[in-house]
């Protein structure tokens, strides 16, 4: 993947970045100090906060982060992360149309190895015309027009 797709600064083409759509990976890395990507996640969330960039995540990401932290770190870590995500993240609630679009995506791309959640993330970020912040680009290679954001 080219760097032009992977890295977007807080200012892109003269436009200030106002929002990003976030996958579970950056949140998991942020709330798990032992995660190999913890420092990158910490740096990224600081940059977004300082740049007043709104972090948006769909409800399935919140569930994934909570479950991962609950079973791999601790119940306390999961509860703390949930409180912080609810405080600092705009959580969006997928509806029946969102599910239909994600389901259509996975049905039309049978050789793609991404999940239904990945399809929801990609389709929504594309529809909102905002970059996606993920730590697992492999899941999104099928979406050639999907812009990504990374911390500097």
In the predicted structure, residue 20 carries a pLDDT above the cut 60: yes
Helices (H), ranges, the chain? 3-6, 24-31, 38-50, 59-72, 75-88, 96-108, 116-128
- CATH number of this structure's domain 18-139, picked from the four choices 3.40.640.10, 3.40.50.1010, 3.60.110.10, 3.40.228.10: 3.40.50.1010
Cβ 71 vs Cβ 37: under 8 Å: no
Q: Domain ranges in the chain?
A: 18-139
Q: How far apart are CA 101 and CA 99, in angstroms?
A: 5
Comparing 8 with 37, the larger pLDDT belongs to 37
Torsion-angle region of 121 (φ positive above 0: left; ψ -120 to 50: alpha; else: beta): alpha
In the predicted structure, residue 10 carries a pLDDT above the cut 70: no
Predicted TM-score of the model (pTM): 0.89
| Tens-place pLDDT, residues 35-60 | 999 999 999 999 999 999 999 999 99
> In degrees rounded to 5, what are phi and psi of residue 22?
-110, 135
Least confident of 31-35, 50-54, 61-65, 136-140: 136-140
Q: At what angle do helices 24-31 and 59-72 cross, to 10 degrees?
A: 40
């Amino acid at each position: 993947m080219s760097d032009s797709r992977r890295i977007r600064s807080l200012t892109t083409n003269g436009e200030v970045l106002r929002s990003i759509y976030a996958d579970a990976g950056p949140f998991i890395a942020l709330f798990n100090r032992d995660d190999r990507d913890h420092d990158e996640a910490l740096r990224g969330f600081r940059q977004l906060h300082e740049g007043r960039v709104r972090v948006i995540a769909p409800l399935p990401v919140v569930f994934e982060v909570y479950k991962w932290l609950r079973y791999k770190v601790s119940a306390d870590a999961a509860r703390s992360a949930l409180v912080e995500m609810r405080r600092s993240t705009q959580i969006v609630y997928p509806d029946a149309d969102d599910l239909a679009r994600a389901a259509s995506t996975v049905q039309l791309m049978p050789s793609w190895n991404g999940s239904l959640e990945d399809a929801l993330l990609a389709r929504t970020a594309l529809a909102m015309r905002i970059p996606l912040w993920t730590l697992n680009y492999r899941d999104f290679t099928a979406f050639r027009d999907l812009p990504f954001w990374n911390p500097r």
